[in-house]
Amino acid sequence: MSSVLWLPDLGRSVDNLLLHKLRTLLTMLGMIFGVAAVVAMLSIGAGAQQQVMAFIEDLGVRNLIVEARETTEFQAFQKMRQQSPGLTFKDIRAMAATVPGLDMVSPRKRFTPSQVIPKPQGELPAVYGVDANFQQIAGLKIAAGRFFTQEEAAHAAPVCVLGEAARVRLFGLSDPLGRFVKVNGQWYRTIGVAGAQAVAQSDVAGLPGQDRNNVLYVPTGAAMFRLEDNYSQFRDEVDGVYLRLKPEADVLAAAATVRGILTASHRNADDYSLIVPAELLAEQQRTKRIFDIVMVALASISLLVGGIGIMNIMLASVLERTREIGVRRAIGARRTDIIRQFVMETTLIAVAGGTMGLLLGASMSRLIANFAGWSTIISSGSLGLAFSVSVLIGLVSGVYPAMKASRLDPVQALHYE
């Protein structure tokens, strides 16, 4: 019975909107661009957040990372060395002896080579000198071959494991296992290829935004005894320390112990960063919640502008169709019938505008991802939010014009010119 009452009104609403195609389209534009902007913003924000979250999760929530803050300016280096010896193996031994719940620890000595053979297609890979247990600490997945052993590390064996990007840039699609890579005059035999890792586009809490896939992993000794770079005299003994804690360990207590050790040995010098991925992950989750709230607020504001446009047009439509309303009331239409027709028209405008806005927003998101190189994610939640808010605002915007139309006096409306 209810569908019988609604269908004639629906037909009249569609006919009236099609009768004024240009006006209907212009009325929809506010909703279309509002919804599209919301979808595009949320997809860009979600992509950036997911990229950072994946990067932090890859660091390991049970890990602690110490990064040296090095300088290549002579005066700054001299001033720093008067206060602190920099990050050293002595610090690592102190951490191994005192950090509660420590499972394993690995130093890292990073080099930026000046020459690599085969000549890579693109940026030169970085060289990471690490211990054999770095694979477990960093959660490295081996795509081919193997990681070097503790025995190879102890003998500073000239072997290397390639990151995914380094493999492609050095050897293309061919198998790199057993082949040699020459780094600054030193030959390293390739024994493995690491799987792809998440990468941050910029620095995250003291960690450089370097491509962690464009890396050669070699034993610490094979890096320190065989390689030198242009700034060796300014470098710390080691430039990074990776610590992995046992599952039951208190991450915050372990971090406080590491800070205490480094504060004492470095004499309060601010020449290192301590990264606690568990804290970063919690902070990013809080940031994501705040970001979502801000995006919803922006969505509401932009769509509200579209709703105001709908209300203005519908108020003008009421004035324009005064005689039509009078005729309908005179032949028996009730106030609820008039309200239903006008609300239905605004709902159709909002639904159509919201649907086209979703399509436009998804297209904009794809274009941004393709041309700007940004990571974007279109979630069903963002689509549902944008569409629901657009329809809700369309409904609300149509109520006042509908009420105004229903209150018109039939006699006066019939005489309106």
- What does the DSSP assignment read for 205-240? TTB----TTSEEEEEHHHHHTT---TTGGGS-S-SE
| Cβ atoms < 10 Å from Cβ of 182 | 13
| Residue 2 pLDDT exceeds 50 | no
Please tell me whether residues 241 and 342 are part of one structural domain. no
Please tell me whether residues 318 and 352 are part of one structural domain. yes
**Domain closes at, from 241, 270, 299:** 270
Which helix (H) or strand (E) segment is 244 a member of?
A: strand 240-245
User: Taking each helix axis from N to C terminus, what angle separates 335-372 and 380-406, rounded to the nearest 10 degrees?
Assistant: 150
| Residue 257 pLDDT exceeds 80 | yes
- Range 283-304 average pLDDT: 74
Map tokens 């599952």 to a residue.
Answer: 247
Closest CA to 341 of 408, 406, 410: 406
| Residue 400 pLDDT exceeds 80 | no
Please tell me whether residues 207 and 313 are part of one structural domain. no
Residue 137 within a domain? yes
Q: List the structure tokens of 92.
A: 């690592």
Residue 276 within a domain? no
> For every residue of 330-353, which 3-state class applies, written as one string?
HCCCCHHHHHHHHHHHHHHHHHHH
Please tell me whether residues 405 and 369 are part of one structural domain. yes
Map tokens 């720093």 to a residue.
Answer: 80
| Cβ atoms < 10 Å from Cβ of 250 | 12
**Domain closes at, from 270, 301, 320:** 270
Phi-psi region of 156 (alpha: psi -120 to 50; beta: other; left: phi over 0): left
Residue 206 within a domain? yes
Please tell me whether residues 51 and 80 are part of one structural domain. no
Residue 275 within a domain? no
Please tell me whether residues 292 and 410 are part of one structural domain. yes
Name the pLDDT band for 361 (thresholds 50, 70, 90).
confident
Please tell me whether residues 51 and 87 are part of one structural domain. no
pLDDT for res 207: 60
Q: What is residue 116's three-state secondary structure?
A: strand
Name the pLDDT band for 417 (thresholds 50, 70, 90).
low
Map tokens 């005299």 to a residue.
Answer: 233
Please tell me whether residues 183 and 287 are part of one structural domain. no
Could you tell me the residue range of the domain that residue 361 belongs to? 2-55+283-414
| Residue 211 pLDDT exceeds 60 | yes
- Rounded to an integer, what distance in angstroms lies between the CA atom of residue 152 and that of residue 218? 10
pLDDT for res 268: 80
Please tell me whether residues 125 and 264 are part of one structural domain. yes
Residue 207 within a domain? yes
Counting the structural domains of the chain, the total is 2
CB-based burial label for 15 (10 Å; 0-12, 13-18, 19+): exposed
Residue 62 within a domain? no
**Domain closes at, from 270, 292, 316:** 270
Q: What is residue 67's three-state secondary structure?
A: strand
- The pTM of the full predicted model, rounded to 2 decimals, is 0.64
Please tell me whether residues 32 and 97 are part of one structural domain. no
CA Rg value for the chain: 32
Please tell me whether residues 295 and 152 are part of one structural domain. no
Residue 250 within a domain? yes
